[in-house]
Amino acid sequence: IHPPSRGTSILTLAIDDLVKTFGEVKAVDHVSFEVEEGAFVCFLGPSGCGKTTLLRIIAGLEQADTGAVRLGGVDMSGVPARKRNFGVVFQSYSLFPNMSAQRNVGYGLECRGWSKSERQKRACEMLDLVGLADQARKLPSEMSGGQQQRVALARALAPNPSLLLLDEPLSALDAKVRDTLRQEIRSLQQRLGITTVMVTHDQDEALAMADTIVVLNGGKIEQIGHPRDLYTRPASAFVAGFIGHMNVLPVTRNGSGFHFSNTILDVDEADPGQGDIRSLGIRPEAIEVASSHGANAPRNVVPGEVRAVTFLGNLTRIEVAPDAQKDTVLTLELHGACDIPKLGDGLSLRLPSHALKVLP
């Protein structure tokens, strides 16, 4: 199977100022962005942030109030879902229960006027592609959840769609199958070079699979970017907290640094400006244990007390309540066979200036 040939046209997906309301609820609130051909984009956000509605508008299953969806410059507004040539995979597989895997995969081709022999050949190719060549005659009820979702994927890809839309395709599967299928979908998508948009509420899934993540909150784009950029440079406390764990420290300005728990924190970040900065963020893996523990802590060192110790195999997660600000518990992660402190121990934490981020 080769990447579908689409001549020289660049099929950029452009979402232009989409708005969708349900009564009082603004499910999608002036959303605009572009997806390059061949990219894998994830819509990520908490329940109710509008990610499914946005995907359904792109699929043509929902009508936007205003705004446009364009593919390769062509406005899709008047094009019904079945004529968009988009492959869609749902969380619930949505296979026909009385049809074999092969007939399920070939079904969309029948509607497009492919002959029986062409359909059978294509269905076999597609089942082979998703590792189910030997399951062609099975009914969905005779297959595992992971296998059924592979069939659904093969069915979506069979007509050579110009866009693949995935609505939480892995969330009904158990953790191990989910991890395997996550890698399989990503490598298949890269091999075929098909532009893909996936909805997920699982940040690990988005980080592992996407070229670009669109973080949504209350129907609006909170931040859009490469997974690594969202993790290292979150644009808001919301993104920082949603993508990985971020310790959020309430601070007040103190000269060139920030005051937190009777300590002054210096921050390297290029001129954080004189604006109204109230919180700094630091990832658990960036916090270090300071060599000495005492009341007169130097800058960027916070004395505290160990409140929780959780052994997680390859790392140990420790929660520390700062002595002078006990309500802001800091989480850090220690790797390998280092000395693990005990509950109630005094522990001073070094918050390196390069790792502290100003959270707007």
Smallest distance from the beta carbon of 281 to ligand ATP, in angstroms?
Answer: 24
Paired with 358 in beta bridges are: 280
Smallest distance from the beta carbon of 212 to ligand ATP, in angstroms?
Answer: 18
Query: What's the CA gap between 268 and 162, in Å, rounded?
Result: 45
- Integer CA distances (angstroms), 102 to 96, 98, 120, 138, 291, in order: 11, 12, 7, 8, 64
Smallest distance from the beta carbon of 49 to ligand ATP, in angstroms?
Answer: 4
Q: Which is nearer to ligand ATP, 52 or 196 (CB)?
A: 52
Smallest distance from the beta carbon of 332 to ligand ATP, in angstroms?
Answer: 31
DSSP three-state, residue 147: helix
Q: Got the DSSP string for 318-347?
A: EEEEETT-TTS-EEEEEESSPPPP-TT-EE
Closest by Cα among 309, 35, 293 to 165 = 35
Q: Which is nearer to ligand ATP, 30 or 116 (CB)?
A: 30
Smallest distance from the beta carbon of 54 to ligand ATP, in angstroms?
Answer: 7
Query: What's the CA gap between 99 and 141, in Å, rounded?
Result: 10
Q: Which is nearer to ligand ATP, 47 or 141 (CB)?
A: 47
Q: Which is nearer to ligand ATP, 27 or 64 (CB)?
A: 27
Query: What's the CA gap between 230 and 124, in Å, rounded?
Result: 40
**x/- binding map, residues 162-201, to ligand ATP, per CB under 6 A?**
---------------------------------------x
Q: Which is nearer to ligand ATP, 131 or 218 (CB)?
A: 218
Q: Got the DSSP string for 162-218?
A: SEEEEESTTTTS-HHHHHHHHHHHHHHHHHHT--EEEEES-HHHHHHH-SEEEEEET
Q: Which is nearer to ligand ATP, 53 or 348 (CB)?
A: 53
**x/- binding map, residues 197-236, to ligand ATP, per CB under 6 A?**
----x-----------------------------------
Q: Any idea which residue has 């110790």 for tokens?
A: 309
Return the residue of 22, 75, 112, 254 that touches ligand ATP, per CB under 6 A. Answer: 22
Quote the DSSP letter at residue 278: -
Q: Does residue 30 bind ligand ATP (CB under 6 A)?
A: no
Contacts by residues 133-138 (CB-CB < 8 Å, ≥ 24 positions apart): 135/101, 136/100, 136/101, 136/102, 137/100, 137/101, 137/102, 138/100, 138/101
Q: Which is nearer to ligand ATP, 87 or 219 (CB)?
A: 219
Report the site for ligand ATP in 33-92 (rule: CB under 6 A): 45, 47-53
Smallest distance from the beta carbon of 52 to ligand ATP, in angstroms?
Answer: 3
Q: Which is nearer to ligand ATP, 22 or 96 (CB)?
A: 22
Cβ-proximal residue to ligand ATP, closest one: 52
Residues that bind ligand ATP (CB under 6 A): 22, 25, 27, 45, 47-53, 201
